Structure 1
Amino acid sequence: MRYVKWTLIALIVLVVGGFIHYSLPQRDIVRVVGTNTERTTIPSNRAIFWSAGDPTRDVQYIQTVQANGKTMEYRNEDTGWGWPPYFKFDTSSLYTEATDAVSNKANPEWYSISHYGWRSELLSIFPNAIGIKPVAGPEDTSFPWVNTIILAFLGVLLLLIWRMWVQFRERTIDPLVEDAGDAWDAVDDRADALKDGARNKAQGIKNWFGSLRK
């Protein structure tokens, strides 16, 4: 039973943590090497990893290369009023900015691309770019204020929920459990009393028959 409990807790933490990591903004320092629009058939996981729309549609992509030489591709789609709540409606403007940012290896220009989501060739999913801005170089760093504020807010919210649950349990559940335990003890005592009474009656009857036999 203990293993089932901890397995369930680990599964919940994994799902919630994955959901938060997917939804929070991330930042990559890259060199933009190209942009294009492709007719794409969205896979069956579009409800989770793609924006709402027709299953077959034109999707804008931004191709980049990181400082270590690894490639990274982003899709460029509006989020609208859906989840995550980035309220992105400037897909065309972002595409123009990314196209203007293209540079080659001999004369690289580095940009910070803000995005959410994951890149997986197996699942055919791409992170969705939500912003682009020039930076001094691939070593540029900045403190993730947005993520820190969001995670701090979630931490406070979880703490409040936990405290509410503890108070609810102490005021409502624990007394009910104690009352149920007391009632069960009373039932046990009553059953023992009835058992003793029945035993005494049986012994009395036995003694009466013994006296008749004598």
Structure 2
Amino acid sequence: MWKYIKWGFRITVLIIVAAFLHYTLPQRDIVRITGTYNRLTEVGANSIFYASPDSGTTTNTVDRRDIRFIEAVYPDGGPMVYRNEDTGWIWPPYFKYDSSNLQAEATNAISPKDKPEWVAVTHYGWRLPIFSIYPNAVKIKAVAGPDVRLIPWVNIVVLVLLGLLVLMLWRMWAQFKERMIEPAMDDLNNTLDAVDARADAARDRARGFWGRLFGRK
């Protein structure tokens, strides 16, 4: 039973870490921009998926913000909507302060269906319509066409560094366990064995005493 609990805990942690990295690391979509607009948006229970009010977003009330949006479509015709908010110095560390400039770039990149202009939109986050959650666009770059191959160098470098960090921490833990925990456990087991041996000896002496005592009777 304990084995299944441990594996369940490990899998849960792995899923949480993978979801965190998938949300935070930059992704790039090749899309055609169809429109841009500002909208007074009510931010409530889903506020963790929006920028903090003090990172450049105009805040009218506690729960309502004027947020910029970018509308786009994928090469296969599927729709996509990005929000365009500053991140400031808070998490995630994109240090984005140019949402106004990015909105101007997006507006300038609008193109019709019969004469498409394709761009690569770098963003982080997820698009979950049911919860009114939008990925945050951080960069727009023109590309030659919808079939351009984009290599995620940033993600590769980050994941390699994280892998090396995990490997280093695992090695440090293994050495700590080998040098500190295992000897301590051995000493504890030896102590418990000695206590058991003394207890057995005391029991044997007691049995011998009572045996001799009753034998005299």
Same fold (TM over 0.5): yes
State the one-letter code of the partner of 2:43. I
> Which residue of 1 is the match for residue 104 of structure 2?
96
> Which residue of 1 is the match for residue 29 of structure 2?
28
Once the two structures are overlaid, the 10-residue window that deviates more, 92-101 or 52-61, is: 52-61
Q: 1:112 aligns with which of 120, 130, 148?
A: 120
Query: Map of 1:135-146 to 2, 5 A cutoff?
Result: 135-146=143-154
Deviation for aligned residue 1:123 = 2.0
Q: Match of 2:127, SS?
A: coil
Q: Match of 1:122, SS?
A: helix
Deviation for aligned residue 1:142 = 2.0
Gaps (5+ residues) in structure 1? Answer: 210-214
Q: 1:189 aligns with which of 189, 192, 197?
A: 197
> Which residue of 1 is the match for residue 56 of structure 2?
none
- Separation (CA, whole Å) in 2 of partners of 1:145 and 1:133: 16
State the one-letter code of the partner of 2:126. W
Query: Map of 1:31-50 to 2, 5 A cutoff?
Result: 31-47=32-48, 49-50=49-50
Q: 2:88 aligns with which of 75, 80, 83?
A: 80
Q: Match of 2:67, SS?
A: strand
Task: Extract structure 1 runs of 4+ deviating beyond 4 A.
Answer: none
State the one-letter code of the partner of 1:51. A
Deviation for aligned residue 1:45 = 2.6
Contact 1:79/1:89, CA 8 A, preserved across alignment: yes
- Separation (CA, whole Å) in 2 of partners of 1:175 and 1:205: 44
State the one-letter code of the partner of 1:134. A
- Separation (CA, whole Å) in 1 of partners of 2:10 and 2:89: 32
For these two proteins, the number of residue pairs brought into alignment is: 208
Contact 1:118/1:126, CA 8 A, preserved across alignment: yes
Deviations 1:97-154 (A, max 9, x none): 0001111111111110000000001222110000001111110112111111111111
- Separation (CA, whole Å) in 2 of partners of 1:98 and 1:59: 15
> Which residue of 2 is the match for residue 177 of structure 1?
185
State the one-letter code of the partner of 2:44. P
> Which residue of 1 is the match for residue 173 of structure 2?
165
> Which structure has the larger Rg over C-alpha atoms?
1
State the one-letter code of the partner of 2:4. Y
- Separation (CA, whole Å) in 2 of partners of 1:164 and 1:55: 46
Gaps (5+ residues) in structure 2? Answer: 54-61
Identity %: 48
- Separation (CA, whole Å) in 1 of partners of 2:66 and 2:46: 17
CA RMSD across the alignment: 0.8
